[in-house]
Structure 1
Amino acid sequence: MERIAFIGAGSMAEAIIKGWIDKNCIANEHLFITNKSDQDRLETLQQAYGVQILPNKSMLHDMDCIVLAMKPKDAKEAMIAIAPFLNKKTVVFSVLAGISIATIRSFLGNRPIARTMPNTSATIGMSASGVAFNELVDEQLRTTCLTMLQAIGTVVEVEEDQLHAVTAFSGSGPAYIYYLLEAFENVAAEVGLQQDVVRTLMVQTLAGSAAMLQTGNEEPATLRRKVTSPGGTTEAGLRALEQHEVTAAIAACVKSAEARSRELAQGI
């Protein structure tokens, strides 16, 4: 795909654009951006990445692919606005939370559609993405889409209905990790450490733990037990987590996000 237009220019669009450019996946002169009304935002992205601002909707006819990256609440209005300008071969690449392939097809016509859920770690080429395709995506296009997503991180192909859960885990996942780090930093002073010291220690601890898991040699429960000496500090900390029902809170977090994704699907 030589010419790609982003409909929407928020943080997810920027993350993907930066990831693609940094990995030499797509040249910046082949990337076009537009949004509802924020010209300053478009100019900021143009200056930062050398992408092109789409001057008018009629140019969408020349695009090989459009990326739906607006807020889900703006999706209906945006799709209605761009539908008359797309050619029959234009591929739709959607990163919209909760918006189904069937809904996209109802507004933009029967065409190849890839529905994906990356996360903002695409900015540094470390996104965790799930993707589903409709029946009009042939093997060549499927390979192209997977390659584009692999350029910004790890990608797993799933059934479309599973994307609600993917959204809850990896789509929203970075926010959960940042929330956890905030919690560690907030308690720093109470245990006699400076916040920046805690950040340094915990960021490396998170990175090291992730690297241990990526080796795939041992299960998380096994690794946890190896750190947990009977009667030791780790056991005391884990006991406090159990007393505060952290496992139940995490389950509630994921289920709430997954349910919200399904609500968004019903909203259009």
Structure 2
Amino acid sequence: MDIDIDGYYHQPAWPDLPVASLEGLQTQEQSIALDLEGAMALYRSGLPGAARLASIIEPSRAPSHFPRTLASARYGRVIQEQFVHAMGGLCHYQFNDDDMCFVTIKPPGWAVRAGELATFPLASKLRGFRAQLSQVGAMPLDGPLMAAVAGEFDGTLGVFQLHLNAITTAATGKLLDSRLSGHDAYRANIYVKKPVDVVRLHRDDRTAAITRLLKHQWPMRYRRWSPRNPAPVQREHRLRPRQLAELLLWLNPRPVGQLIYSSDARLRRRVARW
């Protein structure tokens, strides 16, 4: 048995699966390419503080080390590795083989127009989320909940839609779906058609699900309508340089702990040290 940095005994999770092979985890070469793309987007954006951040994350300026900012894909890769290991230990310790689900929670009120991402009050929104859990009777949670802030850019509507990706037990996922779906803050609108989505995970799906919690770059989606199919079909693309620069500037000053919500004290303590 291993002892983690918090002094807890647990069996190592997936001992035969090295981090470098985890599905969804970027390679070093990919993270360098993403940092170069991000630096070029920042240089061209003309946004306040963009040129300074570009000089920090540009690989040619710092080829031998990574800058300690979430705007850097190289730093994000290191954080994601640590998060996978931390979550892997907790999942092994707290979940049964088929008692895990992936929950996407998209409060429609978490939409912000392009150009205004810096004004998004993340801390107050997360406090509101915790208050909403209490309001709908979901607290105390019947099982662990580990969530991370993520997002996407809706290219059709021109908004960033922030949301929470979470891993929890099947029972808690079902509870969140039934309780939050009845809350006024989770009523579907033009931005979000399904505010709470729950997907059951099997043991083989766990590693890929954990890597999905923390993502360095958000996708851009376009909605397509047709007369024959009124339901919009969403197509995923890479962010345009302007939106990418805005996202990196939003990520830059944030510690990892601001993007993580967990009911597990050990994970909170570990993340606070990153």
TM-score norm. by structure 1 comes to: 0.27
Q: Max radius of gyration: which structure?
A: 1
From the two aligned structures, give the one with the greater strand fraction.
Answer: 2
TM-score norm. by structure 2 comes to: 0.26
Whose relative contact order is higher, 1 or 2, with alpha carbons under 8 Å and at least 6 apart? 2
